[in-house]
Amino acid sequence: MEFSKSPAARVGLSIAVATGLYGVSFGALSVASGLDLLQTMALSLLLFSGGSQFAFIGVVGGGGSGAAAMSASGLLGIRNAVYGMQMNAMLRPRRWRRFAAAQVTIDESTATATGQSDPLEQSRGFWVAGIGIYVLWNVFTLVGALLGNALGDPAQWGLDGAAVAAFLGLLWPRLKAREPAAIAVVCALVTLLAVPFVPPGVPILVAALVAGLLGWFSFGPSREGLEPDVEPYPSEGRP
Amino acid sequence: MNLWIWILVACLLSYLTKLAGYLVPARLMENPRMTRVAGTLTIGLLASLTAVNTFSSGQALVVDARLAALLAAAVALWLRAPFLVVVLAGAAAAALARFLGAA
């Protein structure tokens, strides 16, 4: 099939636009959290994993240490290793392509590839979504950071409220059943109970420990929590 | 300057995590528990970050304009609004609540 008629490439492009666009909110919130323009761009260019980037600035913005921010972002990125394993088995990239594929292995590129059944389409979906999101996410991060710098006082524009909405927006697609919702409620409560007793940033790591233990000792659907923020195949449902 | 170090460590960690999926033999990493923990960690951390960003101010718990943002975002998500609209709804609700006198 020609590339221009590839359904996977089309899905990959539309997911790239939808996901890339919300790089604006990351850029604006990052400078509002106290990171400068270069630090914000370093996260989008090098770290490149939406949830982890939001986690990093969320901890820093709340007064947490750099070490706590790094830990929260690292723990939130563990699912990318699972995606990497799946993509390695599915696409079998060779030599330098492995190293390039690793950088663009995120929720959306993985979901776009796994939604296809033909090997060529799987590969097209992964690369078009991955590279497309990478380019647009960085362009819109820059736009957001410049916008955030121009806005001035973050609280006046409700940017702290935007951060709250962003985290709820990242969480929401993962709460499709009662059980993940219960995990979310438990972890939110644990966090709030810990806030008065430990330094800022640490309550999030306490919640991560609880979440890890719940995952280790309980049974549930293995794909739970691994839903993409933006669903590439909304009408068809996940395979 | 100190923050730069943690940013770069976080970036390196992120890349190595992704790369591990490609380079570490699948039989060493592939087990249902690892997948399950990766999932519950994601849910737990995002829930925790939502709670902290809504109710904490340093080491104090407070109810302020950010609660309006949380509720507005929930309504937007319920109505299946796209991510960016959800974020804007949160910002607008917090700004409005503050304009109306909330802390």
In tens, the pLDDT along A105-137 reads 998 899 899 888 889 999 999 999 999 999 999
Evaluate whether residue A235 is within a structural domain.
no
**How much is the pTM?**
0.87
| Beta pairing partners, B57 | B60
Range of the domain at A14: 3-172
Number of domains in chain A: 1
Phi, psi angle pair for B88, to nearest 5°: -65, -40
Task: Establish, for the pair of chains A and B, how many residue pairs have beta carbons separated by less than 8 Å.
Answer: 348
pLDDT above 90: percentage of residues in chain A: 56
Can you tell me the distance from the alpha carbon of A195 to that of A119, in angstroms, rounded to the nearest whole number?
48
Of the candidates A52, A69, A162, the beta carbon closest to that of B6 is on: A69
Q: Is residue A1's pLDDT more than 70?
A: no
Distance from CA of B63 to the nearest CA of A (A): 12
Contact between chains at B11 and A183 (C-beta distance less than 8 A) = no
Is residue B6's pLDDT more than 60? yes
pLDDT tens, residue by residue, A210-220: 999 998 888 77
CA A28 vs. chain centroid, Å, equals 16
Band (A193; pLDDT cuts 50, 70, 90): very high
Record: contact B10-A167, CB cut-off 8 A = no
Residue among A19, A5, A30, A18 nearest A162 (CA): A30
The per-residue pLDDT for range A162-187, each reduced to its tens digit, is 889 988 988 998 898 888 999 999 99
Q: Do A167 and B88 touch (CB under 8 A)?
A: no
- A223 contacts on B by Cβ (under 8 Å): 35, 39
The answer to whether residue A133 sits within a structural domain is yes
User: What is the arithmetic mean of pLDDT over A195-204?
Assistant: 90
Is the dihedral angle over the CA atoms A76, A203, A225, A133 positive or is it negative?
Answer: negative
Which of A137-146, A207-216, A219-228, B43-52 has the weakest average pLDDT? A219-228
pLDDT at residue A104 above 80? yes
Residue A11 lies in a domain: yes
Q: Chain B partners of A169 at a C-beta cutoff of 8 Å? A: 73, 77, 83, 86-87
Residue A207 — pLDDT band, cuts 50, 70, 90?
very high
**Is residue A58 one of the residues assigned to a domain?**
yes
What is the predicted pLDDT for the residue at A120?
Answer: 92
The ipTM is 0.92
